[in-house]
Structure 1
């Protein structure tokens, strides 16, 4: 079900603000200790791997991002759609960030 952007849980909006600002410490506080992130077909397990992924991806390309849509899949799963433009292959893309939340922390994030 599509929802307005302001109906995304605080966990997601706070994480996205931190992620966009490339503030690793602030972004990491929203992950569970055993969280998983899947991006570009590779899965990162736990906070150490996720932090390393975030640090690497933050410096790999320069881009802007705009949150363009949101939907709620179930009580724990939300999708935040972003439009990115930058110096990565293709130059622009729409990506779905699919979040699974438990107890107000991110347990899983899939970017596709």
Structure 2
């Protein structure tokens, strides 16, 4: 069963990812992932620190966006944070859920975009 979460209830890694991405701070975002993490974004899977670093460096400055938090949830060990994104990307507005799995130390081991 899914548990609803407010944004301030989300772990530090979720806040760090969102804040780092919004401020285009690639190093801050990279530091949140484990060496063996996996990221799935736009039909591509990035595995391990080197591939994730490359994905961040290729993607973090592509668009300028404004995020509005809509809802959060915890379900079967995954944390979902749904945002409304508005920006200079094709279409200009989208609703997106970031799905995080964290390790015991609070670092990101899995990130999916839904």
- Report if TM-score (shorter chain) is over 0.5: yes
Cα deviations across residues 4-42 of structure 1 (Å, max 9, x unaligned)? Answer: 111111221122211221111111111010101111111
How many positions carry a matched residue from both structures? 111
Distance across 2 between alignment mates of 1:21 and 1:2: 27
Deviation at residue 54 of structure 1 after TM alignment:
1.3
Q: Which runs of 5+ in 1 are unaligned?
A: none
1:83 maps to 2:84: yes
Task: Write out the 4+ residue segments of structure 1 that deviate beyond 4 Å after TM superposition.
Answer: none
Choose 56-65 or 21-30, whichever is displaced more: 56-65
Distance across 1 between alignment mates of 2:20 and 2:29: 5
Deviation at residue 62 of structure 1 after TM alignment:
2.6
Distance across 1 between alignment mates of 2:96 and 2:86: 11
Deviation at residue 3 of structure 1 after TM alignment:
1.3
Cα deviations across residues 69-109 of structure 1 (Å, max 9, x unaligned)? Answer: 111113x3100111111122211000000001112110000
1:32 alignment partner, one of 26, 34, 46: 34
The two structures have a TM-score, normalised by structure 1, of 0.90
Q: Which runs of 5+ in 2 are unaligned?
A: none
Distance across 2 between alignment mates of 1:62 and 1:18: 13
1:13 maps to 2:15: yes
Distance across 2 between alignment mates of 1:66 and 1:58: 18
